[in-house]
Amino acid sequence: MPTRKMILIFLGPPASGKGTQAEILGKNLDIPVISMGELLRYECNHHSKIGEKIKEYLKKGELVPDDIVQNILLRRLEKKDTKKGFILDGFPRRIKQVHYLENIKKIFLSSSDLLIVFYIKVSDQEAKARVIDRRVCECGAAYHLKYNPPKRRGICDVCGKKIYRRSDDDPKVVSKRLRDFHRRIKPIVDYFSRQGVLVEIDGEKKIEEVQEELKNRLNEILNSA
């Protein structure tokens, strides 16, 4: 178990499995996983005023404006459970958010702590195939009807509620999300690569194999730093 505080970041296209991998690793390391998409969907499901605004962006598969995202993220980071570190899933997604992350780093990390960025890579073809069978629950659990189905059909294993397909997992919306992803990810990946904190992971293997690779790469970094 690492003693240094860590911020781990998961980047990847839609349905790359970054959320699933982040959850498994987070449990192992005993640090919370903060999913930006989930925080935003929570706002939508609770019909707040800001939630109604966010819903419009999510439906179209567009990124939510930075000021909204950053406020929601900061509110979540202020909770006590982030003291030992945390995993960010789906943030940053714009270069402006990368700069915001630098502020977060200043608040949360000292010079001996670590920031690592895992970039989970899958092809567009694979991402599209996965999205068709992806189902989620309001509680944040995610399923794949073939590879990771719930025990009872249509029902969440964790909370017993009905699982559903996200509106932005509509195949037409997914193509647009993938195009946007490729356009935006390049400068972000270049930035983290220049900082020497980028770790690329092949996301097309089985869930357990991807997790194994993540753990091995993380241990290598922890042992060498």
**C-alpha atoms less than 13 angstroms from C-alpha of 141 in its C-beta half-sphere:** 20
- One-letter amino acid for residue 173 of the chain: V
Active site residue 134: yes
Active site residue 18: yes
> Nearest-CA neighbor of 25 among 6, 12, 38, 44?
6
Shorter beta-carbon distance to ligand AMP: residue 62 or 126:
62
**Helix %, strand %, coil % for the chain, to 5?**
50, 15, 30
Q: Contacts by 177-185 with C-beta closer than 8 Å and gap 24+?
A: 177/13, 177/14, 177/61, 178/13, 178/14, 178/124, 178/127, 178/128, 180/61, 180/62, 180/63, 181/13, 181/14, 182/13, 184/63, 184/93, 184/94, 184/95, 185/11, 185/13
Shorter beta-carbon distance to ligand AMP: residue 85 or 90:
90
- The conformation of residue 43, written as its DSSP 8-state character, comes to H
Active site residue 177: yes
Q: Which residue among 31, 34, 44, 58 contacts ligand AMP (CB under 6 A)?
A: 58
Subset of 88-117 contacting ligand AMP (CB under 6 A)? 90-91, 93, 97
Contact range with ligand AMP by CB under 6 A, out of 58-66, 114-122, 153-161, 205-213: 58-66
Closest-by-Cβ residue to ligand AMP is 37
Active site residue 41: no
Residue with the two structure tokens 């970039």: 119
Shorter beta-carbon distance to ligand AMP: residue 45 or 80:
45
Using CB under 6 A as the binding rule, whether residue 177 contacts ligand AMP is answered as: yes
Asked if 9 and 200 touch (Cβ cutoff 8 Å), the reply is no
User: Per the residue annotation, which of 5, 55, 93, 130 is the catalytic one?
Assistant: 93
Using CB under 6 A as the binding rule, whether residue 57 contacts ligand AMP is answered as: yes
User: Per the residue annotation, which of 5, 41, 134, 135 is the catalytic one?
Assistant: 134
Active site residue 80: no
Instruction: Round to whole Å and give the CA distance between 44 and 113.
Output: 34
User: Per the residue annotation, which of 18, 41, 55, 135 is the catalytic one?
Assistant: 18
User: CB 23 → ligand AMP: shortest distance, Å?
Assistant: 13
Subset of 32-51 contacting ligand AMP (CB under 6 A)? 36-37, 40
**Which residues contact ligand AMP by CB under 6 A?**
14, 36-37, 40, 57-58, 61-64, 69, 90-91, 93, 97, 168, 177
